[in-house]
Amino acid sequence: MQNIHINYQGDALNYDSASLLAKGVARQNQMHEPTIMAWRRHNSLDMYPAPYEGADPETWWEKYGAGNGGFMEISLGTDYCFIMMDASGYETVDQLPLRNLSDSRGDPYLCFTPMLGKSGNTPTPEACTALDGWLADQY
């Protein structure tokens, strides 16, 4: 695993700003399409993926990232650490018939558009699956 440490001392980072910075660093280090496989915010329990029961939260996210194609670890100061992979060699899928919708309570769903029928904007049990920790928001 290639390790890159950036001694970041700017404004406080949130996930969005840290991930953009990490992707930029990855591009500067010959990664064409950087993709975040796993991440962790130090001094907190914020990480992806969340550890399963019995997993060591200190190492689970890193093992997951490396085991799923990540080969570059980028740490930003003492705040965030990312495991990155290059997605440039993967095929892309044209537009999928999937769409994110929310029900009247605001619960998010991923829906198969052709099965929504005329109700088009309302999640149905036949066409939609609730988003949770395993089914991530993709669209």
Query: For strand 34-41 and strand 80-86, is the pairing parallel, antiparallel, or unpaired?
Result: antiparallel
Are 12 and 67 part of one and the same domain?
Answer: yes
Q: Which helix (H) or strand (E) holds 83?
A: strand 80-86
Q: Are residues 102 and 81 in the same domain?
A: no
Domain count, the chain: 2
DSSP characters over 2-46: EEEEE---SSPP-HHHHHHHHHHHHHHTT-SSEEEEEEEETTSS-
Count other C-beta atoms under 10 Å from residue 137's C-beta.
9
Q: What is the pTM of this model?
A: 0.66
ω into 49 cis (within 30 of 0) = yes
- Among all chains, which residue has been given the structure tokens 């029900």? 103
Assess whether 70 and 120 both reside in one domain.
no
Q: What is the pLDDT of residues 79-137, one digit of tens each?
A: 999 999 999 887 776 667 888 888 888 888 888 888 887 657 888 888 888 887 655 55
* Residue 65 belongs to domain with CATH number: 3.30.1490.340
- With respect to residue 135, please indicate whether it lies within any of the assigned structural domains: no
pLDDT of residue 113: 83
Check if the beta carbon of residue 70 is closer than 8 Å to that of residue 26. Answer: no
By mean pLDDT, which of 23-27, 46-50, 69-73 is the weakest? 46-50
Average pLDDT of the chain, as a whole number: 86
- Residues 71, 114 within the same domain: no
